[in-house]
Amino acid sequence: MKVVIVGPGAVGSLFAYFLSRAETDLWLLDREPARAGRLEHGGIEVEALDGHACRIKPRVSADPSEIGIADVVIICVKAGDTIHAARSIHPIVGDDTAVLTLQNGMGNVEKITAELTKGSVLGGTTAQGSTVLEPGRIRHAGVGETIIGEPGRPHGPRTDELVSLFQACGMDASATDDLEGLLWGKLVINVGINALTAITGLKNGELVERPGTQGILREAVAEALAVAVAKGITLPYDNAVDKVESVCRATAANISSMLQDMLRRRRTEIDAINDVIVSEGERLVVPTPVNRTLTGLVRTIEGSWNARVS
């Protein structure tokens, strides 16, 4: 089975680490030729949960035509790069290719589907935690379930095949028949964690250790839940606040993806996370003042990076 992971960031590199354990023809597709060359030569160092490090050496390329048609393509780029990634994979997507997005935020499945003329698009979430320590070096920062499904229909054989592949690599994986509910469930979790960590610089676990951030987390999640209820979404858990706080504790040492972006002065995924709650809240007449504030603060910080102090 030929598996191509698009985007050698935190999640993409971690999935390469897991999939290197299986009998796969494993590739990483990187949009930056120089980085692709370095990863092809030096591989990726992974610091495991127990502190021990290992190095994997998947094949890496910035040229999709070099790879050939894939059986599975896993998209792990930032939400703002979804359309570029979808357009870049045309040479590796055939009629029977499964294209799986494990990205944060909403709208990725729809954007990828709109760009492809072949293959089938699947969606999913992962609660595996990963932190980029430096280019080509990551830390596995937390264990969690990976769940995948198919848009607008019950899961089928391709989903089951991928679940079996992930399980064979030692991952906790399962399928869902309600992909929309799954994605909204992950969105609510990200709403509670990502922007707050990006603004404060705290790790996930610290959010629930401090009364100030814990209170804001609960308010942001309550707003997201109200929007989901107004949309008729059934979340994959009973208590949204308890779920988000349990994820914080399970990934206590993790540096969230949005905080990692902030530390590197890279564009965040705020538009695909908290701002989704704001825009949907406006459409459904559901107040979302906390998410509006968090969105505004993150955008202000992003906009200040190139500002000059006179």
Q: Is 186 a catalytic residue?
A: yes
188: left (phi over 0), alpha (psi -120 to 50) or beta: alpha
Q: Count how many Cα atoms sit within 13 Å of the Cα of residue 273 in the half-sphere of its side chain.
A: 29
Dihedral sign of CA atoms 287, 207, 49, 35 in order: positive
* From 2, 78, 118, 186, the catalytic residue: 186
Alpha helices in 232-256 (DSSP H): 240-250
Tallying the residues shown for the chain, one arrives at 310
In single-letter form, the type of residue at position 163 comes to V
CA distance 202 to 182: 26
Q: How many C-beta neighbours within 10 Å does residue 105 have?
A: 23
CA distance 166 to 168: 5
Asked whether 251 and 142 are in contact (CB, 8 A), the reply is yes
First vs last C-alpha separation in the chain = 57
CA distance 4 to 295: 33
What's 203's DSSP letter?
-
Catalytic center residues: 186
